[in-house]
Amino acid sequence: MTDVKSEDTNKKTGWSRRDVLKATSAGAAAGATPMFFTQNAWAEEAIGNYPVKGSEVVLGFNVPQTGAYADEGADELRAYKLAVKHLNNGGGMLDTLKPSKLTGNGILGKKVTYVTGDTQTNADASRTSARRMIERDKVIMVTGGSSSGIAIAQQYLCNELGIIFMCGLTHSNDTTGKDKQRYGFRHFFNAHMTGKALSPVLSKEYGKDRRAFHLTADYSWGHTQQESMQEFTEKEGWSTAGNIMTPLKTTDFSQYLSQVLNSDADVLILNHYGANMVNSLTNAVNFGMRDMQKNGKNLEIVVPLYSRLMAKGAGSANIDGVLGTSGWNWALQDEGSQVFVKTFTDEYGFPPSQAAHTCYVQTLLYANACEMAGTFYPPEVIKALEDFKFTGAGNGETLYRGSDHQCIKDILVMQGKSPSARTSEFDYLKIVDEVDAATVDYDPAIFGGELGPYIPA
């Protein structure tokens, strides 16, 4: 625990009060490193919005309220509000999360309140919004986001300002890979884990002799998703016929699908998310790809990352039988999932999405870490989260890995249900396989990146 570097306070000529405080505290930290193991040793030292003044503690929920992911953002916000309710009054996963020091009486005896913001699915806007929460509303933690670029942008900002950022839905390898930050944590799984979980199922369902064609959204998440899928399907014996990058702004994918039709591929992998995925999948179905034979086999479409909202957007006729992965699904039968689905449905009248699940769990995990650390002091909370092992949050036994802040947990392989198999308007996907954490685990070193120090520069 000697990450804390000594800073030369003489060099500092800044004007802001915070800088001066930070400098003195950093100096103090250097001289007293061993004391880090003692809780509450840092009660006077300010980092970010620590210490928390008054009888309330504020959390910042920064979700997309406008733009393409607004519905997902709305569901995230519902989950956050539910989490706050449970933190203050008990109930929900507070009863199932183990180990847990949560009491249902706020966090560390302080009542939990929250502020919300709109990321607009725009990195700059999300940072400005997060800044408002941090600087004006004095939040102790920020959480949210519904795409990787936004999550990474906020994670950097929060890291600079000494605020813990609990990622919402972000699936790129970069979030806990090359862009990982000491103050950022991700409960959601990632593209690499998708590839690992999905590929064996694919080869079991479709055989080992397959040629895959990738259409890939031309941005970081798409690239990592494509690389992972290619890597793991090739390990299963598949070959790769081609990969076309599609601009993020594409709404009509026919020009790319023409290229697929023209190749000898018999599997189409759509490394798309959100509106991109809805459009490319629908377009592919229009091109007759669900009913087509190539190389004497049925042409198959694979959507590595599934969400209920996307499935709904594409329509169940189009996703019928299509395989993909999800982080969580409301049909899971474990105790934690059941209690979450029940309380959520009681509150809002319909079951939660996987985005809601990850956001809910993240909030609880943060609160629990504060309780375990006995302080809001971020370095201590971070340490409580790092290598925290827990169960009862819906994905079996889960490890918050300390080396990259990635949760290692079970992943679901999902398949679209046919319209006739659906039981409700929220029932689009069925669970094909629950791939356990050990299978999708990986060496964090492969993605590089540095977490950085516990005390921000």
Partner 1 sequence: MLNQDNFWQHNKAVLLFALVALTMPLWFPIMGGYSGLDTKIMIFCIFVVGFDILLGFTGYLSFGHAAFFGISAYVTGIMLKSFSDNIIPAILVAVLAATVVAVIIGLLTLKRTGIYFSILTLAFAEMFDSMAMSMLQKWTGGENGLTGMPTPMLFNLKMQGDTVFYFVTFMAIFLFYMAKRIERSPVGLMMKAIKCNQTRLEFTGINARKYKLLAFVISAVYAAIAGALMVVYEPFVGHEFLGWHQSGEVVIMSVIGGVGTLVGPMLGAGFMLYFENVLSVDLGEQWLLVLGAIFMAVVVFMPGGFMEGIARLKKRYFTTVDGE
Partner 2 sequence: MDMTLNAFTLSILTGLQLGSIYVLIALGLTLIFGTLGVVNFAHGALYLIAIYLAVSINNALGFGLALIIVPPVLFIIGVLLERGLIQRFYDRPHTDQILVTFGLAIVLQEFLKWVFGANNIPFTIPAWGNGIIFMHEYLPFLEGFVVYPKWRMILVVVAIVTVSAVFALLHLTRFGLVIRAGMRDAEMLQFLGVNINRRFMVVFGLGAMIAGIAGVFGGPVTQVSPEVGMQLLVPSFLIVVIGGMGSLGGAVLAGILIGMAQSFTAPYIYINTIIIYLITVIILLVRPRGLLGAKGVFE
CB of 176 to partner 1, least distance (A): 13
- Nearest to partner 2 of 70, 399 (CB atom): 70
CB of 223 to partner 1, least distance (A): 8
CB of 325 to partner 1, least distance (A): 21
Contact between 299 and partner 2 by CB under 8 A: the answer reads: no
CB of 450 to partner 1, least distance (A): 9
Please return the burial class of 122, using the count of CB atoms within 10 Å of its CB with bins 0-12, 13-18 and 19+.
middle
- Nearest to partner 2 of 162, 352 (CB atom): 352
Contact between 278 and partner 2 by CB under 8 A: the answer reads: yes
Nearest to 442, CA basis, from 207, 256, 192: 192
| Interacting positions 42-71 with partner 2 (CB under 8 A) | 66-71
- Nearest to partner 2 of 46, 275 (CB atom): 275
CB of 217 to partner 1, least distance (A): 9
- Nearest to partner 1 of 73, 327 (CB atom): 73
Nearest to 144, CA basis, from 93, 189, 57, 80: 80
CB 238 within 8 A of CB 226: no
Distance CA 101, CA 147 (A): 31
Contact between 309 and partner 2 by CB under 8 A: the answer reads: yes
Contacts (Cβ under 8 Å, ≥6 apart) of 253? 215, 246, 279, 280, 283, 284
Residues that bind partner 1 (CB under 8 A): 11-16, 18-19, 65-66, 70, 74, 115-118, 122-125, 127-129, 131-132, 135-136, 148-149, 152-153, 156-157, 160, 172, 174, 179, 218-221, 245, 247-248, 457
Tokens of 400: 């918050």
CB 21 within 8 A of CB 48: no
Site track for partner 2 across 232-271, x = CB under 8 A: ------------xxxx-x-xx-xxx-xx-xx---------
Distance CA 308, CA 76 (A): 13
Q: Which residue has the tokens 């659906």?
A: 422
Contact between 9 and partner 2 by CB under 8 A: the answer reads: no
Contact between 28 and partner 2 by CB under 8 A: the answer reads: no
CB 429 within 8 A of CB 308: yes
C-alpha distances out from residue 325 to 98, 196, 358, 416, Å? 26, 10, 15, 11
- Nearest to partner 1 of 155, 318 (CB atom): 155
CB 313 within 8 A of CB 325: no
C-alpha distances out from residue 81 to 53, 88, 93, 166, 330, Å? 22, 11, 14, 15, 18
Choose, by CB under 8 A, the member of 3, 218, 236, 334 that binds partner 2. Answer: 218
Q: Which residues bind partner 2 (CB under 8 A)?
A: 66-71, 74, 218, 244-247, 249, 251-252, 254-256, 258-259, 261-262, 275, 278-279, 282-283, 286-288, 292, 309-310, 312-315, 317-318
